[in-house]
């Protein structure tokens, strides 16, 4: 039983990162019908950005909450800028081109980011300082650290923030409208092109934040970390229904739990096989995802 | 075609092969190993070329087939003591089956989802072979003996180079045959617009699955070869990056282009060798190369070029259909979407040589009715009998095969194929054969249909380069190539000027003269009245009037439906319309 | 009265198809002008080109003295030209209140204005007031049409263009919608209305133009055209322009 709870706790932590990344996939797909293949690598960029912040500040250990927050905020914003820049330069020229071209360009960007960071880091992994070393909250057979608590709270705050933005602000509502009917949105005076870039920005900020949090949790980061995690997050987005934000959040947590439980009860070697099998199964049975795409497809 | 140009055209590959064979004598071991790798990547390229290049299915997990070929062969050699040559057909078969399994779930998916699913499969296979004991875990299989032919071992780089070259020639010949088959044309149509291809008679599901199966089979050939060269099957050779590099071969070379595959393979394999000094930057260079190519030259270095069809000079004229009697009988056709009834209880009958039109104001349900009739939507109720057999609810290509051809309101031609090739695709409704060459019947039908609509001079032009009126006529030619009993024209006069409308009317008259029945949806009511024998008027999905044009024109209900009810309190029209 | 909207020589294409040929017409302030014609005549294309959703190939569009021919759609809205598109196109997964909110997107920073204006729209459309929190996609066709119109009115356009507002509506509801259109004009908004339903629209409109195959073939006052047999011909081919084949 204690095992179960431990896996649950770990799964929720991982799941909250995955949810943040998955939201980025979902939002971007909602407005431009593009699976941003490079999104997982944006997450990776965030991890490295946060690392730079922490090393610049000079954190070595202990419970350095202000430094952590600074790393998350600055790392996330930097990633937001990078993600938006990439969208502007590499994707915008291809919006009118056949869909395949845009997707392949995203693959190219993904590879470029990975290889670029590989060169800059000499293909070696970096280690985050243990900046959330606050010990355990619950003792005994179930281990929950302060660090975990901080991260989950942070993730929840971000998701709540996003939810508030999307549902309670005019701009957020306009973003939702954009995903439903682009021309009708234009007719209300909405600058569609600018809003699309904003969507990329927000998605990248979320992924960047997740990257920093991942670094704080797992400490080891490397240039290739975005690939598999990106795919897991994508699975979550599909499961939750691309374009369906609450669904995506829930699915992100779910995939985190799947990852944790399969690692615990079976073996971490088979985790990804299970997750991919889930992805393929869902798409095979329901080509529009589990909860249906929140976007209408013209036949 | 004179001897000189034919010589030139056919000599390309043989010259290249010969040259490669000769050069091989002068290369050192290192160069020979690189050259052998190039050829192996060329074989893989020819495989993915089928899936991605011809059929347009973006496979990001092609390395899986490579891996399956290598592992199956390796395991049979090591554990069962089989001979290399015996393992080949088994390895190929295993990959082909894998192709079927991988392809099946992707059939209904959009291209980007499809790509991710194939990626997922690739990862599943990679992780599985790393995790299982029997496949040697992360170290893979070791101790695979070199290939032997009649006792002679092919172990030196020179030997292996020539061995691989021979395999390449065989694969080249096989893919060459495929490139000239009817299947190749079907692939290109599916790539261009798979729903239109399906509607016109191409069995798209089968065609897509064949792409996976054949592509996998070709890719699998490289596996055992690679295993024999290295003596091992190393799972790190079959990662996503491998799949990406194989994809890069055809993106750089040109999708669908076999010469391009060679160019791409040379670049993908040789570039890292050349960049050995700046080892670390290789991946980055490839990434930037990929982005650059997609932005600047998406068609690749050596874009695919397809040989134009050689049409006969003259084709025997189409015979008037002798079929008598009811060609089309639709009864009680209905379609509901949730609470809305888009089409309610539609009845239509059509005899040979008749022209009937379906008209009605916007939102009347005309297009939905058409889509139900042709199988693009499944009707909620009703029968659609073509020549006596009910096709309601069947897949569009079966409906087409039953004798029902159609055109589209927004003209769905295969833009990257020529005029003649577009018409050719229409033939699949009549002849679904795939794994053979084009026949005389195919080419004669194309000639005949092009002559009929007056597009013979444009046969070799790209379909996207035609004028609007010509594109309309091409779509009709494509529909006629199916030798249909009934042809459904969806707003053929949309956007046409008076001259084009006049030619259209003449064309319709000629079609009916052949004994083919015509169903027309049109908004140009003047045109409809002039060419139809009977007219059916729909409003809100229901038939409000049906009969000869003259009756319809004076029918008060029809006038009310189009123009609104005149403000005359004395008439009971409002009640009639609403009741 | 100078024209609020002047369209001259407007030519528009879809690919190689010429959808509009040399369209010239004008709408004076305070008028209701109708564009009639059967399907495929080019009515919707005209509106889409005017509001900037579609690029014109040639010709000029002058609104309130300014050339708006090359403006993007969201900029045209700022100038005071509202457009209720064909098929209503409300945002289905947003509520009535949210749909209206977006109608005033250009003035979103002025919270007081938006709130006050929304209340005015609720007063004009009691049905919407009752359904403030309902998802737009679940409403009936007539209600959606009211919402689409209300949404377009949120930013107080000087000219409101409506594309087939009565399409797909039961006759009674259609009457209501057209009544609303009259009220809108009476309250000071100029109206350009596109319709297939000729009779009712001609009773409503001050002037009308009839389109056929991308060009204007008739024009006149509402009363004139209501009695003109050529209108019926333009729709139902009473006067065949093409001879029947032999």
What CATH code is carried by the domain that includes residue B382? 3.40.50.300
Among B238, B256, B284, identify where a domain stops.
B238
| Residue where the block lists tokens 């990804």 | A272
Nearest to B283 among A118, A238, A276 (CB): A118
- Tell me the shortest Cα–Cα distance from C245 to chain B, in angstroms: 7
Inter-axis angle of helices C171-186 and C141-153, to 10 degrees? 10
Angle at C234 between CA C229 and CA C237, to 5 degrees: 90
SS3 C218: strand
Would B470 be classed as within a structural domain? no
When scoring B106, B111, B124 by the number of chain A Cβ atoms within 10 A, the one with the most, hence best to mutate, is B124
Would A58 be classed as within a structural domain? yes
Mean pLDDT of B321-346: 83
Mean pLDDT of B254-260: 93
CB contact under 8 A, A111 and B290: yes
- Tell me the shortest Cα–Cα distance from C31 to chain A, in angstroms: 22
Domain containing A167 equals: 16-224
* Most confidently modeled range among A25-29, A92-96, B186-190, B436-440: B186-190
Domain containing B344 equals: 326-412+485-578
User: Residues B463-503: pLDDT tens digits?
Assistant: 988 888 899 999 999 999 999 999 999 989 877 777 788 88
Q: Does B565 touch chain C (CB under 8 A)?
A: yes
CA dihedral A19, A24, A28, A34 (to 10 degrees): -80
Would B424 be classed as within a structural domain? no
User: Residues B384-441: pLDDT tens digits?
Assistant: 999 888 998 899 999 999 999 999 988 899 998 999 999 999 999 999 899 999 999 9
Q: Which chains touch C (3 or more CB pairs under 8 A)?
A: A, B
Nearest to C245 among B505, B553, B564 (CB): B505
How long is chain A?
299
Number of domains in chain A: 1
Nearest to A111 among B110, B244, B295 (CB): B244
Residues in chain C predicted with pLDDT less than 50, given as ranges, are: 237-246
User: Residues C63-122: pLDDT tens digits?
Assistant: 999 999 999 999 999 999 999 998 889 999 999 999 999 999 999 999 999 999 999 999
Residue of A nearest to C108 (CA): A170
Edge-to-edge strand list for the sheet holding B340-351: B340-351, B326-337, B381-386, B389-390
The structure's pTM equals 0.86
CB contact under 8 A, B565 and C213: no
Residue of C nearest to A243 (CA): C93
Both tokens assigned to A1? 């039983």
Would A115 be classed as within a structural domain? yes
Q: Which of A88-92, A289-293, B392-396, B491-495 has the lowest mean pLDDT?
A: A289-293
| Closest listed residue to residue B218, CA positions, set B114, B69, B57, B61 | B69
Residues forming beta bridges with residue C163, ordered by sequence position: C194
Would B277 be classed as within a structural domain? no
Q: Does C230 touch chain B (CB under 8 A)?
A: no
What's the confidence (pLDDT) of residue B323?
66
Asked if B50 and B156 sit in the same domain, the reply is yes
Asked if B241 and B13 touch (Cβ cutoff 8 Å), the reply is no
Residues forming beta bridges with residue B518, ordered by sequence position: B355, B487
Which residues in chain B have their CB less than 8 angstroms from residue C196's CB? 361-362, 562
Phi, psi (deg, nearest 5) at residue B389: -100, 135
B window 3-22, beta carbon within 8 A of C: none
Asked if B364 and B538 touch (Cβ cutoff 8 Å), the reply is yes
State how beta strands B517-521 and B486-490 pair.
parallel
Nearest to B527 among C171, C232, C242 (CB): C242
Asked if B534 and B408 sit in the same domain, the reply is yes
Class of residue A120 by CB neighbours under 10 A (exposed 0-12, middle 13-18, buried 19+): exposed
Asked if B353 and B213 sit in the same domain, the reply is no
Asked if B175 and B217 touch (Cβ cutoff 8 Å), the reply is no
Residue B480 Cα distances to A234, A255, B146, B426, B500, angstroms: 45, 52, 57, 7, 19
Asked if B234 and B381 sit in the same domain, the reply is no
Chain A residues within 8 angstroms (CB to CB) of chain B: 34-35, 90, 93-94, 97, 99-101, 103-105, 107-112, 114-116, 118-119, 122-123, 227-228, 231, 234, 238, 267, 269-270, 272-273, 276-277, 279-280, 283-284, 287, 299
CB contact under 8 A, A180 and C106: no
What's the confidence (pLDDT) of residue C243?
31
Angle at C102 between CA C101 and CA C107, to 5 degrees: 85
Nearest to B291 among A90, A118, A123 (CB): A90
Among B204, B238, B272, identify where a domain stops.
B238
Number of domains in chain B: 2
CB contact under 8 A, C242 and B523: no
Asked if pLDDT for residue A202 goes beyond 90, the answer is yes
Would B312 be classed as within a structural domain? no
Residue of B nearest to C200 (CA): B564
Q: Where are the beta strands (DSSP E) in A132-216?
A: 136-138, 144-145
Return the exposure string of B281-293: e unless at least 16 CB atoms fall within 10 Å of the residue's CB, then b: ebbbbbbbbbbeb
Asked if B232 and B364 sit in the same domain, the reply is no
User: Residues B67-112: pLDDT tens digits?
Assistant: 999 999 999 999 999 999 999 999 999 999 999 999 998 888 888 8
* Confidence category of residue A256, pLDDT binned at 50, 70, 90: very high
Would B294 be classed as within a structural domain? no
User: Residues A148-177: pLDDT tens digits?
Assistant: 888 999 999 999 999 999 999 999 999 999
* Confidence category of residue B8, pLDDT binned at 50, 70, 90: low
CB contact under 8 A, C52 and A177: no
Both tokens assigned to C201? 């629209």
Q: Does C137 touch chain B (CB under 8 A)?
A: no
Return the exposure string of A148-170: e unless at least 16 CB atoms fall within 10 Å of the residue's CB, then b: bbbbbebbeebbeebeeebeeeb
CB contact under 8 A, B290 and A287: no
When scoring B291, B293, B371 by the number of chain A Cβ atoms within 10 A, the one with the most, hence best to mutate, is B291
Among B221, B238, B255, identify where a domain stops.
B238
Both tokens assigned to B397? 């290509």
Both tokens assigned to C9? 């020589």
CB contact under 8 A, C102 and A181: no
Q: How far apart are CA B410 and CA B125, in angstroms?
A: 43
- Tell me the shortest Cα–Cα distance from B286 to chain A, in angstroms: 8
Q: How far apart are CA A103 and CA A34, in angstroms?
A: 7
């Amino acid at each position: 039983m204690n095992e179960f709870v431990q896996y649950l706790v770990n799964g929720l932590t991982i799941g909250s990162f995955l949810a943040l990344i998955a939201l980025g996939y979902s939002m971007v797909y909602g407005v431009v019908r593009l699976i941003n293949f490079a999104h997982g690598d944006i997450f990776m960029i965030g991890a490295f950005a946060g690392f730079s912040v922490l090393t610049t500040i000079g954190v070595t250990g202990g419970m350095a909450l202000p430094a952590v927050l600074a790393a998350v905020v600055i790392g996330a914003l930097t990633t937001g800028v990078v993600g938006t820049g990439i969208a502007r330069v590499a994707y915008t020229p291809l919006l009118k081109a056949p869909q395949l071209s845009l997707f392949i360009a995203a693959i190219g960007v993904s590879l470029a980011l990975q290889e670029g960071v590989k060169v800059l880091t000499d293909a070696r992994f970096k280690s985050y300082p243990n900046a959330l070393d606050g010990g355990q909250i619950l003792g005994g057979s179930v281990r929950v650290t302060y660090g975990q608590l901080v991260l989950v709270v942070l993730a929840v705050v971000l998701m709540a923030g996003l939810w508030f933005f999307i549902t309670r602000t005019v701009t957020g509502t306009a973003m939702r409208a954009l995903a439903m009917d682009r021309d009708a949105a234009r007719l209300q005076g909405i600058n569609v092109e600018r809003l699309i870039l904003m969507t990329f920005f927000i998605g990248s900020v979320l992924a960047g934040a997740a990257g920093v949090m991942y670094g704080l949790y797992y400490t080891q980061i490397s240039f290739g970390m975005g690939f598999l995690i990106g795919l897991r997050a994508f699975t979550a987005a599909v499961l939750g229904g691309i374009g369906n934000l609450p669904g995506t959040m829930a699915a992100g947590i779910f995939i985190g739990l799947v990852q944790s439980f399969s690692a615990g009860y079976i073996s971490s070697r088979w985790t990804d096989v299970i997750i991919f099998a889930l992805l393929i199964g869902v798409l095979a049975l329901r080509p529009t995802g589990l909860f249906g795409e929140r976007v209408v497809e013209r036949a | 075609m004179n001897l000189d140009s034919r010589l030139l055209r056919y000599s390309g590959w043989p010259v290249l092969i010969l040259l490669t064979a000769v050069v091989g004598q002068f290369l050192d071991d290192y160069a020979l190993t690189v050259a052998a790798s190039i050829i192996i990547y060329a074989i893989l390229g020819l495989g993915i070329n089928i899936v991605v290049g011809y059929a347009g299915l973006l496979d990001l997990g092609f390395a899986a087939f490579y891996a399956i070929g290598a592992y199956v062969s390796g395991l049979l050699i090591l554990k069962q003591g089989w001979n290399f040559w015996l393992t080949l057909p088994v390895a190929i078969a295993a990959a082909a089956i894998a192709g079927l399994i991988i392809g099946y779930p992707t059939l209904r998916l959009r291209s980007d989802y499809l790509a991710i699913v194939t990626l997922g499969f690739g990862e599943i296979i990679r992780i599985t072979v790393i995790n299982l004991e029997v496949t040697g875990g992360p170290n893979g299989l070791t101790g695979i003996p070199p290939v032997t032919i009649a006792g002679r071992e092919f172990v030196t780089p020179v030997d292996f180079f020539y061995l691989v070259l021979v395999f390449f020639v065989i694969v080249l010949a096989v893919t060459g045959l495929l490139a000239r088959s009817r299947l190749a044309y079907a692939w290109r149509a599916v790539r261009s617009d798979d729903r239109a291809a399906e509607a016109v008679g191409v069995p798209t599901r089968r065609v897509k699955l064949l792409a996976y199966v054949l592509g996998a089979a070709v890719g699998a050939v490289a596996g055992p070869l690679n295993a024999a060269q290295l003596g091992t099957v190393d799972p790190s050779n079959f990662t996503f990056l491998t799949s990406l590099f194989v994809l890069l071969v055809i993106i750089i070379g040109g999708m669908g282009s076999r010469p391009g595959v060679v160019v791409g393979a040379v670049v993908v394999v040789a570039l890292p060798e050349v960049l050995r000094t700046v080892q670390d930057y290789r991946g980055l260079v490839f990434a930037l190369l990929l982005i650059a190519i997609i932005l600047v030259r998406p068609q690749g270095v050596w874009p695919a070029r397809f040989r134009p069809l050689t049409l006969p000079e003259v084709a025997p004229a189409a015979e008037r259909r002798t079929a008598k009697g009811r060609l089309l009988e639709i009864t009680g056709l209905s379609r509901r979407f949730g609470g809305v009834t888009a089409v309610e209880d539609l009845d239509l009958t059509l005899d040979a040589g008749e022209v009937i039109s379906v008209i009605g104001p916007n939102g009347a349900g005309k297009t939905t009715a058409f889509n139900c009739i042709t199988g693009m939507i499944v009707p909620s109720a009703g029968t659609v009998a073509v020549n006596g057999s009910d096709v309601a609810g069947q897949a569009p290509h079966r409906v087409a095969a039953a004798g029902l051809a159609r055109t589209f309101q927004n003209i769905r031609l295969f833009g990257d194929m020529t005029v003649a090739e577009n018409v050719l695709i229409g033939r699949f409704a009549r002849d679904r054969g795939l794994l053979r060459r084009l026949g005389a019947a195919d080419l004669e039908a194309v000639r005949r249909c092009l002559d009929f609509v007056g597009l013979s001079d444009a046969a070799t032009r790209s379909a996207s380069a035609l004028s609007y009126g010509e594109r309309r006529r091409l779509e009709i030619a494509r529909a006629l190539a199916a030798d249909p009993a009934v042809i459904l024209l969806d707003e053929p006069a949309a956007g046409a000027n008076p001259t084009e409308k006049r030619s259209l009317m003449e064309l319709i008259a000629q079609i009916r003269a052949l004994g083919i029945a015509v169903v027309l949806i049109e908004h140009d009511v003047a045109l409809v009245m002039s060419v139809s024998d009977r007219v059916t008027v729909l409003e809100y999905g229901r038939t409000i009037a049906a009969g000869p044009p003259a009756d319809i024109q004076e029918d008060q209900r029809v006038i009310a439906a189009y123009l609104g009810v005149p403000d005359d309190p004395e008439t009971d029209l409002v009640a009639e319309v609403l009741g | 009265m100078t024209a609020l909207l002047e369209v001259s020589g407007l030519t528009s294409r879809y690919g190689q198809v010429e959808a509009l040929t040399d369209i010239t017409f004008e709408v004076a302030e305070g008028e209701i002008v109708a564009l009639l014609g059967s399907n495929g005549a080019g009515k919707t294309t005209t509106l889409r080109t005017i509001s900037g959703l579609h690029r014109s190939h040639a010709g000029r569009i002058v609104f309130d003295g300014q050339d708006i021919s090359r403006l993007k759609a969201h900029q045209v809205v700022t100038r005071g030209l509202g457009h209720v598109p064909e098929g209503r196109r409300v945002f289905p997964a947003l509520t009535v209140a949210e749909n209206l909110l977006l109608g005033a997107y250009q003035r979103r920073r002025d919270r007081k204005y938006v709130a006050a204006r929304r209340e005015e729209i609720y007063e004009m459309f009691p049905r919407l007031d009752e359904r403030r929190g309902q998802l737009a996609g679940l409403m009936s066709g007539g209600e959606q049409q009211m919402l689409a119109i209300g949404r377009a009115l949120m930013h107080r356009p000087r000219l409101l263009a409506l594309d087939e507002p009565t399409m797909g509506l039961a006759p009674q509801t259609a009457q209501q919608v057209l009544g609303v259109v009259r009220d809108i004009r009476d309250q000071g908004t100029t109206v350009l209305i596109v319709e297939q339903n000729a009779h009712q629209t001609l009773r409503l409109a001050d002037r009308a133009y009839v389109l056929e195959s991308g060009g204007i073939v008739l024009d006149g006052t509402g009363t004139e055209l209501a009695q003109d047999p050529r209108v019926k011909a333009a729709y139902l081919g009473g006067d065949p322009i093409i001879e029947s084949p032999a």
